[in-house]
Amino acid sequence: MIKNCYHLNYSISKEYRGKGYGKKIIEIGCNFLVKKSEKIKKIKALVKKENIASQKIFNSLGFQELVLENVLVYIKTINSSL
């Protein structure tokens, strides 16, 4: 367990995939969390290995990728300049 860590989860309906909404949702959500809580230290998301689109989004947003057996864990460390 990571102290002061928020777990991020999102889903895009099939008809809206590939239009950039996922990245925007994550960006807006992360910015909201950081503004809402000064105690936030990390944001974590679990991504299935077959979900290449989500992997690309988290990598492009500066999340650190950790590989587990059947999922990828993405963690972003929050600093005061975000």
Domains detected in the chain: 5-10+18-77 (3.40.630.30)
Q: Which residues, 6 or more positions from 2, have their beta carbon under 8 angstroms from its beta carbon?
A: 41, 42, 44, 75
What is the tens place of the pLDDT at every residue in 34-76? 888 778 889 999 999 999 999 999 999 999 999 988 899 999 9
Query: Model's pTM, two decimal places?
Result: 0.82
pLDDT at residue 8 tops 70: yes
What is the tens place of the pLDDT at every residue in 10-37? 999 999 999 999 999 999 999 998 888 7
The torsion angles phi and psi of 52, rounded to 5 degrees, stand at: -65, -40
